[in-house]
Chain A
């Protein structure tokens, strides 16, 4: 039961009605049962794994809080992190490592006793593991108190709107909300629906239609010239933005309809004027998670190396992020590229700021536009390693883009509707970024304007949406 399935569209309104009819003290129980049912519907076998992570996290966080001994606290923290990370590492990297060893050994005429095993990655494992790790560290750092109620901890880790692809939330924000769920407020339902509507629009009208063209091109790189590959590469970041951004908005809206606030995951990323700015706007929940639990501890441990230490920490953080995205050299290069971009920016930041101030560039429209374009191009270049199946193909794509020009392959109907939808999404972003949302149809003070906006979007989704597959890009991570 994913967000774009018919089952979810029937499940969600029924749940909202039931939720508000249930006495307040039982609503958290209902949400937990709904989350379990939701997960059961997608990945029944792996429910045991999810519940194990919940149980382990619950027990160890209580133990961390209870013991006064600092060494024991540290031991409990590390034990729980290792325990809950093991399944993620196993499912994500076992096949790759095993196949690598098998291949190397067979090349040398040796036999490796373990057979080739292929496992389906349990849906949402990365996301609920990150949530659980974050909670464990927060309890260890005494930023939050260990929750005594197992149901609340389990609900926090398995909360159905967020379990599949985030946003990766924090205990400090979510647990107090679960413990004090709000009264029925139609404003919450309306706001939630608004988020969901945008989410569905981004996913079904834009992301999936762009996906039709992009996969057609990248599935047969040898058959396409550089011009076509340039267009498809340029559109790919937009596909990820509208796909994961759309998913996040549906998740945020689903939670909001039940009166639960969830953090924003994207903030107009393609209006960023530098890579650092882009990473503050892109997949915010993952980046803040990585900053708090990977970058900051690393930077702290390298602090005596000053600027060099920060750069090493930055580089390692993105390398880990790349490896998390996939056990493939392409993602290692992808992570390294982000590290290089950000390191260069960090090293040149002072001079850049001085230069901008001297010529008063920060307020100039053309400079902002240029900075946006350069940032987008840099990000696009790195994303080629995100979409290519191997480094060799990625390099072929680059080579073709620079050397093999010709008339592009254009699927007019697909691109027309996709770009029209994309223009709406970017128009909304520009309106929010530069015009303080003055021209937003859905945020108008007048009911009739809002109503027209809702209807327009709804019919766009029904008529121009792509309903063939419906899976989200980030499910694979």
Chain B
């Protein structure tokens, strides 16, 4: 093969590669933005981890509350990541959001709870300043620039699935697993033994997050997500109470902040609502979404 022919073909190939790379990544970014409600005007914004992701049905909440909701929740995120998500959302939102909902749980202030590769969840937003800094600080230069250069490398199958959900508007919890109570028998012997860590730095970060939400929204709701009763009882009672005190103290510090504790007996005692001790299944999602709606209606939110 002649060098000129080879070169011509290589150039055409590269041009096509980068055009297609751009087109696919843009389509997926649009889908993700739709899924999370980024770069759009919303009345309400929900920020949380997989517990909130499994717990709230965005579409149902929108119908019952007549509000447009941005649902920015990710699996495996720590408080630091959630703080980055808040900054990202507020930097990207086009107008003021009326209500911010922030998921809290007993593991929120734990020091250990950090995943090394969590930055990968935010790769699609690498071109936005707030996320670019966050990703850059969590990865090496080589990886960072490859992700910048080849745009499709920012996505994996989970993100593709979320982008598709963004286009189809599907926020339903599709987990129909029900807790196997026999398998949880062992947890009973662990009652009042599991530490609830209260890292002061994490508490400070939490307060900063609340302050940021107060700054950008008229009302803030802190939602304590439900934990299956047997699991809840494994937490050391005093430490769990201390955790609750911190959250309630922050909530009561301002009339702008409300607190909803979903660790209610009618939810946490019902094994058929959970897929595992920390995550709700489809039936649990219906109940929690209902509880959230009632709380907001009751408080005129």
What is the predominant secondary structure among interface residues of chain A facing chain B?
A: helix
Cβ-based interface call for B16 (8 A): yes
Residue count of chain B within 8 Å CB distance of chain A: 23
Q: Are A6 and B152 in contact (CB under 8 A)?
A: no
User: CA separation between A454 and B20, bound complex, in Å?
Assistant: 12
Q: Which of A6, A187, A417, A462 has the most CB of B within 10 A?
A: A462
Interface string of B56-80 (1 = CB under 8 A from A): 0000000000000000000000000
A463 contacts B155, CB within 8 Å?
yes
Confirm or deny: A327 has a beta carbon within 8 angstroms of a beta carbon on chain B: no
Q: Is B295 an interface residue (CB 8 A)?
A: no
Assess whether B13 is in contact with A463, with CB atoms less than 8 Å apart. no
**A455 and B1 contacting across the interface, CB-CB below 8 Å:** no
Contact (A190, B1) CB under 8 Å given A417-B157, A451-B16, A454-B13: yes
Question: Is the beta-carbon distance between B24 and A459 smaller than 8 angstroms?
Answer: yes
Q: Chain B residues near A462: list those with CB within 8 A.
A: 150, 152-153
Contact across chains for B161 and A413 when beta carbons are under 8 A apart: yes
In the complex, what's the smallest C-beta–C-beta distance from A326 to chain B, in angstroms? 31
Given A186-B3, A417-B157, A451-B12, A6 contacting B146 (CB threshold 8 A): yes
The total of chain A residues at the interface (CB under 8 A) is 19
In the complex with contacts A186-B6, A459-B24, A464-B157 CB distance below 8 A: yes
A395 to chain B, nearest CB (A): 25
Contact A447-B9, Cβ < 8 Å, known A187-B1, A463-B152: yes
B-chain residues with CB within 8 Å of residue A320 when the two chains form the complex: none
Given A6-B142, A186-B1, A186-B6: A458 and B157 interface contact (C-beta under 8 Å): no
B185 within 8 A of A: no
The residue of chain A having its C-beta at the shortest distance from the C-beta of B8 within the complex is A447
Q: How far is the CA of A30 from the CA of B146 in the complex (A)?
A: 28
- B143 close to A (CB within 8 Å): yes
Annotate B149-193 by CB proximity to A: 1 below 8 A, 0 otherwise.
010110111101100000000000000000000000000000000
- Closest chain-B Cβ to A293's Cβ sits at a distance in Å of 39
In the complex, the answer to whether A6 meets B143 with C-beta atoms within 8 Å is yes
Q: A149-160, CB under 8 A of B: which get 1 and which 0? A: 000000000000
Minimum CB–CB distance for A2 against chain B, Å? 16
Q: Which residues of chain B have a CB within 8 Å of any CB of chain A?
A: 1, 3, 6, 9, 12-13, 16-17, 20-21, 24, 142-143, 146, 150, 152-153, 155-158, 160-161
Using CB atoms and an 8 Å cutoff, list the residues of chain A in contact with chain B.
6, 10, 185-187, 190, 413-414, 417, 447, 451, 454-455, 458-459, 462-464, 467
